[in-house]
Amino acid sequence: MKHRILVALTALVLGTSAASASGRALDGTPMSIERAKTWCIAQSGPLPNWDTPAHPECAMVWKVFAERAGRVIYSARYAWPSPKSSGQPMRVLTEVLFEGAPGSRVVRRLYAVQDDENHIRLAPLRLLTVGGADVIESTVCMSETRECGRELAALRVGRVDAIKDHTVAEIRSQLPKDYDLRMNPDVDVASLLGTGKAWAKRDADCCPSAAIQFTLRLADGELHVEELKFQKRDG
């Protein structure tokens, strides 16, 4: 049990599990801005899909996400009831980014992310500036434990490219022998700084015996740990 949450969340970084925000770059297909901003998407088919009827309880919110280099990035967030049974109301959440010229009636689809709240909680996308680059951050948190992970992508003119995040793997490789991570570290992508805890093999889940601080470096579409500081706790 103690490693289950970490395995699920580090999949956001390492891509080794289905427990991810499922972010995907889209093909840039043009479409009417009126359709994009007023029609809910279908529950099935390629994301986003308007070729089949939407859920009757689908709701959407349209907004300007950012303005960059003479273009406007729009966000459309969609929600409808989850098909999975639960003791409380849950939703399927989707966010799609579109790009268009100011005043244009045509937009192009750029990026989409989707997940079910029964699985993980999907936060609204954020746009960060990291070393002069525009970075989309998708944050997801486990519904039961509220532990969180992230997925990153670079926003460029007319496209979105995935960022490969090596943070967890490289922290593990730099820890002293017999130490490991059992929870995702806290990362501030905008400042390229992070903190966390490390557990010795003998440590109980409640009581990690070391703390870590680290700096990150974003280069060539990859996020790396630049420096790691390891500190054993007293007692």
CA distance 168 to 77: 29
Same domain, 111 and 220: no
CA distance 64 to 121: 23
Where does a domain end: 116, 136, 163? 163
CA 59 vs CA 49, 54, 79, 157, 191: distances in Å: 15, 10, 5, 29, 34
CA distance 148 to 143: 9
Same domain, 141 and 175: no
Spatial CA neighbour of 124 closest among 76, 59, 88: 76
Range among 21-30, 81-90, 113-122, 224-233 rated most confident: 224-233
Where does a domain end: 143, 163, 183? 163
Where does a domain end: 128, 163, 198? 163
Domain count within the chain = 2
* Percent of the chain topping pLDDT 90: 69
pTM of the model: 0.84
Residues 6+ apart with CB under 8 A from 204: none
Which CATH number does the domain housing residue 51 bear?
Answer: 2.40.128
Say yes or no to pLDDT of 9 above 50.
Answer: no
CA distance 165 to 221: 9
Which tens digits make up the pLDDT trace of 117-174? 887 888 999 999 998 899 999 998 876 666 788 899 999 998 999 999 999 999 999 9
Same domain, 100 and 198: no
Answer with the residue of higher pLDDT: 9 or 167. 167
- What value does the mean pLDDT of the chain take? 87
The domain in which residue 183 lies consists of: 167-232
10-14, 38-42, 75-79, 228-232: least confident range: 10-14
